Amino acid sequence: MPGPDRFSALAAEGVLGLKPYVPGKPVAELEREYGIRDPIKLASNENPLGPPPASIRAIGAALGDLALYPDGAAFELKNALAKRLAVNPAQITVGNGSNELLSLVAETFLTPVTEAIYSQFAFLVYALSVQATGASARVAPANAAGHAQALGHDLAAMKQLVTPATRLVFIANPNNPTGTWLGAGELRAFIGSLPSHVLVVLDEAYGEYVAGSDWPDTVRWLDEFPNLIVMRTFSKMYALAGLRVGYSVSHPQVAELLNRVRQPFNVNTLAQVAACAALDDAAHVMRSRQLNAQGLVQLGSGLRALGWHVSPSAGNFVLADTGGPALPWYEKLLRAGVIVRPVANYGLPDHLRITVGLPEQNERLLSALRSLMAGKAPKP
């Protein structure tokens, strides 16, 4: 057998230092490891209402076509998105979730002699995608603790890192895991201040959850900013995370380059039909927004009453500062049958990210914490 280092010597340099992305613990894994019955998962920012009913019906109708390859061009989905967004279908690139699109953008525009910029506590996939290409990452410090958007993107700090070698700037709005967001004015000014050789990747995975007049319709900015790439997903608001379908909207020439790198048949048949159906289910979106707004209040007030600090969030989750190492709380909650997300891998060892669940799920989490803090064993 070859030694363990033999194949490492053959790997691309950017791959050697990669640490795989660690997702939230699956429910089945908790059941196997701890013998917990009926656990709840508040770890991966999934929509607790599940997929739109129209998507479920569309999946059922498409089951007979599973022996056939999916439409590699995603014609129906791209045209449905183009109609909804009032753009040309040639501006749209579909992906196996928006995660794949982040990697596609990095593969398309980064090389070992170029650079990419992202914020200190931004989504981890940005760092993984950049490193895999061998490009250099320039990480901007986040807003300080006393800032109105504490731990969020400091656009001035990001601007200072731009050099002639910069090709990509990644911005999550709202940001995961902090829940912070950027308003239209500051974001637009930042994009307009960048040189033409820099593309802005605007990740709006949680954008459908945001309410407020200052929330920008960034797709409308594409004519003014041809260096802008807007990314969205059906995994969050539309609850199709298990099918993996996302999309980007960009200048047609950018989309054409991305489609050169995109693998054929990257979005399966069921994902395509479910996503098309989801776009027409406005009632599901409204219910999800209302549930999320109520859940943010329920979790925020409940966690603050327990002495934890919770910053405002524009996503479907909260970031809670436990006041000390968060991992012990994570472990105790697992034994109570509640899965949350520790974020020490983001550089936030005193924090837990908690997804908004159904009201009874949020209360189960809060009740478990109240019992733990009182020195009692919570009921799993």
Q: Which residue has the higher pLDDT, 208 or 376?
A: 208
Structure tokens at 319: 């970031």
Classify residue 259: in a domain, yes or no: yes
Are 361 and 212 in a shared domain?
no
Q: Are residues 39 and 101 in the same domain?
A: no
pLDDT top residue among 123 and 24: 123
The answer to whether position 337 is within a domain reads yes
- Residues 6+ away with beta carbon under 8 Å from 26: 41
- pLDDT reported for residue 126: 97
> Residues 353, 207: one domain?
no
Q: What is the pLDDT of residue 379?
A: 63
> What contacts 22, CB < 8 A, 6 or more positions away?
345
Cα 43 to Cα 341: distance, rounded to the nearest angstrom: 5
Residue 5 maps to a domain:
no
Look at 25-29, 163-167, 236-240, 310-314 and tell me which has the smallest mean pLDDT.
25-29
pLDDT digits (tens, 9 = 90+) for 94-152: 999 999 999 999 999 999 999 999 999 999 999 999 999 999 999 999 999 889 999 99
Same domain, 308 and 224: no
Query: Is residue 342 situated within a structural domain?
Result: yes
Tell me which of 278, 301, 327 is where a domain ends.
278
Q: pTM for the full model?
A: 0.92
Distance separating alpha carbons of residues 229 and 170, to the nearest angstrom: 10
Amino acid at 237: M
Q: Determine, yes or no, domain membership for 8.
A: no
- 341 in the same domain as 269: no
Residue with tokens 């929509």: 47
Instruction: Return d(Cα 235, Cα 46) in angstroms, integer.
Output: 7
Tell me the C-alpha distance between 292 and 296, whole Å: 6
Q: Helix 124-133 crosses helix 97-109 at what angle (to 10 degrees)?
A: 40
The yes-or-no verdict on residue 1 having pLDDT over 50 is: no
Q: How confident is the model at residue 31 (pLDDT cuts 50, 70, 90)?
A: low
**Residue 232 has what DSSP assignment?**
E
Of the residues 278, 310, 326, the one at which a domain ends = 278
Query: What was the pLDDT predicted at 146?
Result: 86
String of DSSP letters for 347-372: TEEEEEEEE---HHHHHHHHHHHHHH
**Phi and psi at residue 275, to the nearest 5°:** -65, -40
pLDDT on residue 273: 98
Instruction: Name residues whose C-beta falls within 8 Å of residue 189's C-beta, 6 or more positions apart in sequence.
Output: none
Share of the chain above pLDDT 70, in %: 93
The whole-angstrom separation of Cα 362 and Cα 299 is 6
Q: Does residue 12 form part of some domain?
A: no
Q: What is the mean pLDDT of the chain?
A: 93
Evaluate if residue 322 carries a pLDDT over 90.
Answer: yes
For residue 155, give the CATH number of its domain: 3.40.640.10
Domain harbouring 364, CATH code: 3.90.1150.10
Residue 291 sits in the same domain as residue 196: no
Q: What is the DSSP letter of 326?
A: S
Shared domain for 262 and 341, answered yes or no, is no
* Domain range for 46: 24-50+282-373
Q: 29-38, 45-54, 188-197, 251-260: lowest mean pLDDT where?
A: 29-38
Q: Are residues 83 and 161 in the same domain?
A: yes
Task: Give domain status of residue 363, yes or no.
Answer: yes
Task: Kindly report, residue by residue over 299-320, the tens digit of the pLDDT.
Answer: 999 999 999 999 899 999 999 9
> Comparing 45-54, 214-223, 266-275, which segment has the lowest mean pLDDT?
214-223
Domain count of the fold of the chain? 2
Beta bridge mates, 138: 117
- Among the candidates 222, 243, 278, a domain finishes at 278
Residues comprising the chain, all counted: 380
pLDDT tens figures, 177-219: 999 999 999 999 999 999 999 999 999 999 999 977 678 899 9
